[in-house]
Amino acid sequence: MSDNRNQVIDYITERFAKEDDVLKQVLENQLTGQGPQMNIGPDQGKFLELLVKIHKPKNILEVGSYYGYSSIWLARSLRGVQSTTSQSSHTNRHCEEGVNATNVAIQSSNDLDRDANARDDEQKLTCVEVSEKQCEILKEHFKLAKLEDFTEVIQGSGIEIMKHLIKEERQFDMIFIDADKANYPNYLDLSIDLLPKGGLLLVDNTLWNGKVADPSITDDKQTNSIRQFNDKLAASKHFDSLIITIQDGLAIGIRK
């Protein structure tokens, strides 16, 4: 997680990624709470929003949600995409069938009910957090943002939860990882089985304040783990990938 604010980031944020009262409240709660100050920047939040709108995932897995700042960006985008997709699907279907206006209204109502039920089962942002305290904070913040219906919170180790999801044969159209850096190579391996072909993998902090590119740093465990992740992703036959230099580095991989 990184929120590196400077004059350029502020310029971008003021024009393209303004934070509303809910996001500001999340940051305020994080500031007054005990623990490290960790969250993505608003420019990165907006970038995630755009990726969701482009990729149009049905469900997203986030490993490492903390106070839910990035989660709210993701869940709001997911909600918006689903609403747009649902309306477009209904409009196209009814135009093709040529039904009258009364039937359209009745059918549309029934379809929306079914879509709501499907969303409860599948169409959500699933957040994984190891801390019970953070899970409760996440739920409070999702309630504040009116996103309870589009989110689920699972407490546990990211590695163990991902293994469990694989056993359940669950898949996600998008995965965002921002958790313990020592396990980044393991998260990459597990993501292969959780993403379908064309699925999108996003991993934060992959430049680690430039440490990964500094050859003089050889004995830092987190830096070496992120280097290992970067090398594995770059060489992987399972992903077409790149690291972009937004904030502290965001790795993007498309599942082949």
Per-residue pLDDT of 185-194, as tens digits, reads 999 999 999 9
Average the pLDDT over 77-94 and give the result: 66
Average pLDDT, rounded, for the chain: 88
pLDDT higher than 70, residue 123: yes
Closest by CA position to 185, among listed 156, 225, 157, 212: 225
Kindly state the greatest CA–CA separation across the chain: 72
Residue 105 has pLDDT above 80, yes or no: no
Q: Quick check: 126 and 154 in contact, CB under 8 A?
A: yes
Question: Which residues in 152-163 are b (16+ Cβ under 10 Å) and which e?
Answer: ebbbebbbebbe
High-pLDDT (> 90) share of the chain, % = 77
pLDDT of 191-231, one tens digit each? Answer: 999 999 999 999 999 999 999 999 999 999 999 999 999 99
- Provide the residue type at 63 as one letter: V
Determine the Cα–Cα distance for residues 46 and 2; give it in Å rounded to an integer: 14
Residue with tokens 């230099």: 245
CATH class of 7-255: alpha beta
Dump pLDDT digits (tens) for 142-168.
Answer: 999 999 999 999 999 999 999 999 999
Interhelix angle 69-97/42-55, rounded to 10 degrees, is 20
Q: Which band of pLDDT confidence, cut at 50, 70 and 90, is reported for residue 38?
A: confident
Q: Is 175 exposed, middle or buried (0-12, 13-18, 19+ CB in 10 A)?
A: buried
What does the angle CA 143 – CA 63 – CA 219 come to, to the nearest 5 degrees?
Answer: 140
Q: For 29-48, what is the mean pLDDT?
A: 90
Residue 106 has pLDDT above 60, yes or no: no
Q: What is the pLDDT of residues 52-75, one digit of tens each?
A: 999 999 999 999 999 999 999 999
**Arithmetic mean of pLDDT, 118-132:** 80
pLDDT tens-digit series, residues 232-255: 999 999 999 999 999 999 999 999
| pLDDT given at position 81 | 87
pTM assigned to the model: 0.86
